[in-house]
Structure formats: C-alpha cells, structure tokens
C-alpha cells in the first residue's frame, strides 16, 4: 500500500524508526508534555523503559523549594532604639560611635589618671538605657531584676516587641510548637557587679539564683517561659557568628518541622563600654575608635540586640537559599 493510502501518516521504516503519532492541531497550544516518550533499545532487550518521564506535572517533578517567611522583627542598637531609626542611620551613612566625656568616664568608675593616657581610646558605641528595665511588667521584683544580666533583660523586652510586631502576642497556641533560638556574649555584668556581693561567702540560694540569672544557658529558656512559648528552646554561643548561627538553626528546625514558628535572637552588651579600651600597636582594636571593614587594626567594640520571627510556609515574604555552619580553622562560618 502506498504511503498515506490508509489516510494516516506515512509509516516509518528502516533502522531506528520511532513510533508515529497523529499530526498536531495547529489551533491547539503546543505542549511538549503531550509528545510520546521515545523508547530505547538495548542489546538483548526488546524495549527498555523510558529514560525520563516528562509527562509528570511540573509541581510534582520540581517541588517548590522550602521557604521561610520573616513575619516580624525588633531591635535596639547604638544610636537607634528601633529598626526604623537603625535603617535611617544606615541610609544616611551615620556613624553611631561617640566620644565619652570626662564626666561620663569618671562617673563610670574610670581612673582620673587615665584621662590623659594617649593609649586609652575614649569612644564608645553603646545602647542607651541598658540600666532600665520594666520589672513590674514581667513580674520581677526590683531586687530580682537587679541581679539579672542586662543582656537577658534587654533581650526579653525586645522579644516582646518582636512578637508584637508579628501579631503573635496572646491568642491560643495550643498545639503550636514555638521555638526560641538565642545567643549572647559572655556576661560582663556578673563578674563586675554581681559576683563581688557573694565573694568569700558560703554557697546559698541567692548565689545560685544570681549565677543562673547571668548564665548563657538560661537565655532562651527565660524567653520561652516568660512569653509562654512552648517548643524547642536553644541557647547558643559561637563568638562573632552567634546571631547568624541562631538564625540558621531556627530555619533548619522550621524546615525539619521541629517547630511551626521560631524566634531567633542575639544580644551583646558591655556595661563598662564608656570606660573605653586601650589600643595596642599591631593589635586588632582600632587606634581611633572607628571601625573599618577588612582592616587589620580596625575592630571597634560595639553592642546591640536583634530579634527576628520566622514561620514555615509555602508562601514566603522573605527567603533564602541553602545554609550551613562549618568550622574554618579558628572561625565558624555561616553560608
């Protein structure tokens, strides 16, 4: 029979001839997924299965990449009591390092002989009001609040504002796992302002309470308890990468479904910042109190606190790629 005499398409013949299919209707939109899948033949086999099935719907073949939504934030920084003021400083290129007056230096316990020491750098980048805390709001007595590290007090207040910003205050959280991942610098408040009260005295409940109130191990659990957040509660410390590792750990637990919502937080405060620091030639600290990125001798001492609330969801308002925590020689990197 001549090709096409049966009203169909020509019959393919010869080695490598593939299956035939009816012609496409030009009026219909082209969809590559409707094409028949070619088959391969191997020696000793009549036919092998299709190498790749392209007929699967795109959502099944390429599932959506897991995403994390940032639903609320709060922070306090030198020269900025909230995130809006912090952003304004960044946009304006405004530096938050300021000189320390003689009066401030002496009131903080500085030695009058150091006022003329050229190696003492009396510039500071400080969060204002770290000595203030709304103890009654959180159910603390003034005496109890006085022994708590200012880092923990400020973190608690800022965490409340982050929950407020995210609309997560109050409400029924039954069945919801709310994780807390928090880190801080070593307490400078405890050895200088708390421990001297108990030095040389026998152990007591008051000493245990004071030590616990300044321990990094109670940082996250304090937030969970005071704010009624039930879920993973992890305190961590990885030096300069603490905040990034807190965010990374929170995201990983969200993606692994260990919690539904996560609070990632970090804080670093120095109650003695206005005493300045001594510059040592060839050391890491800045000779003039100003920080210069990537300079070998321009590390400035600063402080701040940041909280971010994150939620696992298929519709993200902010997201990122893969992350990891790894040791690199004498450092910990997050990327």
Q: What is the CATH number of the domain that holds 130?
A: 3.40.47.10
Average pLDDT over residues 220-229: 95
Q: Write the DSSP symbol of residue 275.
A: G
Q: Which domain holds residue 88?
A: 68-334
pLDDT of residue 63: 57
Query: Given this model, what pLDDT does residue 122 score?
Result: 93
Q: Identify the band that residue 7 occupies on the pLDDT scale cut at 50, 70 and 90.
A: very low
- The answer to whether residue 48 is domain-embedded is no
How confident is the model at residue 33, as a pLDDT? 43
- Mean pLDDT on 173-192: 90
User: Which residue, among 301, 265, 271, has the nearest Cα to 96 in the 3D structure?
Assistant: 301
Q: Collapsing DSSP states into helix, strand and coil, what is residue 276?
A: coil
Which residues are CB-neighbours of 80 under 8 A, at least 6 positions away? 86, 88, 89, 96
Q: Looking at the 3D structure of the chain, how many domains does it have?
A: 1
Please report whether residue 330 resides in a domain. yes
More confident residue, 321 or 51: 51
Q: Which of 17, 117, 79 is nearest to 304 (CA)?
A: 79
Give the per-residue pLDDT at 300. 58
CA distance 235 to 265: 10
For residue 164, name the pLDDT band (cuts at 50, 70, 90). Answer: very high
Ranges 2-11, 58-67, 290-299: which has the least confidence: 2-11
User: Based on the number of CB atoms within 10 Å of its own CB, is 186 exposed (0-12), middle (13-18) or buried (19 or more)?
Assistant: middle
The answer to whether 165 and 74 are in contact (CB under 8 A) is yes
Alpha carbon 193 to chain centroid distance?
Answer: 30
What whole-number distance in Å separates Cα of residue 204 and Cα of residue 9? 96
pLDDT above 70 for 272: yes
Instruction: Classify residue 145: in a domain, yes or no.
Output: yes
Instruction: Flag whether pLDDT at 304 surpasses 70.
Output: no
DSSP state letters, 66-113: P-EEEEEEEEEBTTBSSHHHHHHHHHHT----EEPPHHHHHHTT--GG
pLDDT band at 66 (very low <50, low <70, confident <90, very high): confident
Asked whether the predicted pLDDT for residue 135 surpasses 70, the reply is yes
DSSP-assigned states of every residue in 133-176:
--TTTTT--HHHHHTS-HHHHHHHHHHHHHHHHHT-SSS--TT-
Residue 77 has pLDDT above 90, yes or no: yes
Q: Is residue 180 part of a domain?
A: yes
Confidence of residue 245 (pLDDT cuts 50, 70, 90): very high
Task: Give the pLDDT confidence score for residue 259 in this predicted structure.
Answer: 93
> pLDDT confidence of 177, banded at 50, 70, 90?
very high
Give the per-residue pLDDT at 314.
34
Residue 1 lies in a domain: no
- Residue 51 phi/psi, 5-degree rounding, is -65, -40
What's the N-to-C CA distance of the chain in angstroms? Answer: 68
DSSP 8-38: SPPPP-STT-----PPPPTTSPP-GGGSPPP
SS3 189: helix
- Is the pLDDT at 316 greater than 60, yes or no? no
pLDDT at 172: 75
Give the C-alpha separation, 40 to 62, whole Å: 24
pLDDT of residue 3: 44
- Per-residue pLDDT tens for 80-91? 999 999 999 999
Q: Residue 31 pLDDT more than 70?
A: no
In a domain, 272, yes or no: yes
Is 42 a domain residue?
A: no
254 Cβ contact partners less than 8 Å away, ≥ 6 residues apart: 68, 179, 260, 261, 262, 310, 311, 312
- Whole-number Å distance between alpha carbons of 151 and 51: 59
Q: Which of 64, 69, 89 is nearest to 79 (CA)?
A: 89
As a whole number of angstroms, the distance between CA 251 and CA 241 comes to 15
Give me the mean pLDDT over the 220-230 stretch: 94
pLDDT value of residue 291: 81
Confidence band, pLDDT 50/70/90 cuts, at residue 256: very high
* pLDDT for 249 beyond 90: yes
| pLDDT, mean of residues 40-45 | 46
Confidence band, pLDDT 50/70/90 cuts, at residue 247: very high
335 pLDDT higher than 50: no
Max CA pair span of the chain: 114
pLDDT score, position 120? 93
The rounded distance, in Å, linking the Cα atoms of 71 and 94 is 27
pLDDT at 293: 75
Instruction: Please check the confidence at residue 115 and state whether its pLDDT lies above 90.
Output: yes
What pLDDT, on the 0 to 100 scale, is given for residue 67? 82
34 inside domain? no
């Amino acid at each position: 029979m001549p090709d096409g005499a049966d009203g169909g398409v020509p019959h393919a013949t010869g080695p490598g001839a593939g299956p035939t299919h009816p012609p496409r209707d030009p009026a219909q939109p082209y969809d590559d997924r409707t094409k028949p899948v070619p088959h391969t033949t191997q020696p000793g086999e009549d036919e092998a299965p299709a190498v790749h099935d392209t007929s699967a719907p795109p959502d099944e073949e390429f599932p959506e990449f897991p995403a994390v939504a940032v639903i609320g934030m709060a922070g306090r920084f030198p020269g900025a009591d909230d995130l809006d003021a912090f952003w304004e400083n960044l946009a304006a290129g405004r530096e938050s390092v300021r000189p320390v007056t003689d009066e401030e230096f002496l009131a903080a316990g500085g030695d009058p002989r150091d006022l003329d020491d050229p190696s003492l750098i009396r510039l500071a980048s400080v969060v204002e009001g770290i000595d203030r805390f709304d103890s009654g709001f959180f159910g603390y007595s003034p005496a109890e609040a006085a022994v708590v590290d200012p880092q923990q007090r400020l973190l608690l207040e800022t965490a409340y504002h982050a929950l407020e910003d995210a609309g997560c205050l109050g409400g029924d959280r039954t069945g919801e796992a709310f994780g807390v991942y928090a880190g801080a610098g070593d307490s400078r408040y405890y050895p200088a302002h708390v421990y001297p009260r108990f030095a040389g005295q026998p152990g007591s409940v008051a000493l245990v309470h004071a030590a616990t109130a300044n321990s990094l191990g109670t940082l996250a659990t304090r937030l969970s308890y005071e704010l009624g957040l039930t879920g993973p509660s992890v305190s961590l410390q990885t030096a300069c990468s603490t905040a990034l590792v807190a965010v990374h750990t929170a995201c990983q637990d969200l993606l692994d479904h260990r919690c539904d919502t996560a609070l990632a937080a970090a804080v670093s405060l120095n109650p003695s910042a206005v005493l300045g620091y001594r510059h040592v030639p060839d050391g890491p600290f800045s000779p003039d109190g100003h920080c210069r990125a990537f300079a070998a001798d321009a590390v400035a001492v600063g402080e701040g606190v940041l909280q971010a609330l994150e939620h696992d969801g298929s519709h993200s308002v902010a997201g990122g790629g893969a992350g990891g925590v790894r040791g690199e020689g004498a450092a910990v990197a997050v990327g």
